[in-house]
Amino acid sequence: MVEWRTLFKQNILNEAEDYIRSNSVQNLTIEDNLTIEENQVTAKVIGIENYHVHIRLRGDEVYAMKCSCPYAKAGSSCKHTAAVMLAWENRMKAENDAKPAIPIEPETPAEPAAPTVPIVEAPVLSEGEKQPVRNIAENCLQLTVNIDDVLTYAIFHNGAHIVRDICVKNMSDSDLEHLLIQISSDIGVINDFKLGIEKIKPDEELHLRNLDV
């Protein structure tokens, strides 16, 4: 804002205030000259006579002041130019206050980071623990075990059953008695499973389903 009050005596400023209160400053016009960065302020001040004031502002300085009153023509800073400067200042303040404030957008809260799921590597299984498991013993007893397609330590850790169904078939020509079926793992993937079978006839199949192994 232009610091203009230092150009006037205090009594002149007081009289300028009186002009503002009595609404004596009329036809206030502000023209911008962008070429030379100059503002021209003109107005009519009603007193004993109507006095015409013309003020030129450049940057933050009062470049020139003119008034048609005798006091100004004698080379003094008159109360009419002070009143016009005060009216100009009030106009600038009112326009600045009327400008809409730039809304401040609230910061978007950062999304919480996704929980880290530890990756557990699946243990390396021995050849006897991979699907399918089918073995014909020397005594002609065929044992077939169906194991889940996805066999990983993560599944076991979450409580999935690894061995579902077992089929025992007598491939010999005679009865097989007092059999023991045992399922175990060298790496502790499953709990040991044992099941006794009293007798299986030739070509007979015994199906054990929905096991919890």
Q: CA–CA distance from 64 to each of 2, 72, 143, 168 (Å)?
A: 13, 12, 113, 115
- pLDDT, mean of residues 158-172: 68
CA distance 79 to 128: 110
List pLDDT tens digits, range 99-111.
Answer: 776 666 667 666 6
Token duo for residue 95 = 């326009």
Average pLDDT score over residue span 161-166: 64
pLDDT tens-digit readout, 22-78: 999 999 999 987 666 888 999 999 988 999 999 999 888 899 999 999 999 998 999
> What is the reported pLDDT for 196?
83
Contact call for residues 199 and 176 (beta carbons, < 8 A): yes
What is the pTM (predicted TM-score) of this model? 0.46
Q: Residues 114-147: pLDDT tens digits?
A: 555 454 454 554 554 444 444 444 455 555 555 5
pLDDT confidence of residue 206:
75
Residue 179 has pLDDT above 70, yes or no: yes
Q: For residues 135 and 144, give the distance between their C-alpha atoms in angstroms, rounded to a whole number.
A: 7
pLDDT in tens, 183-204: 776 656 567 777 788 888 888 8
- What H or E segment, with its residue span, contains residue 98? helix 79-98
Longest Cα–Cα distance of the chain, Å, equals: 143
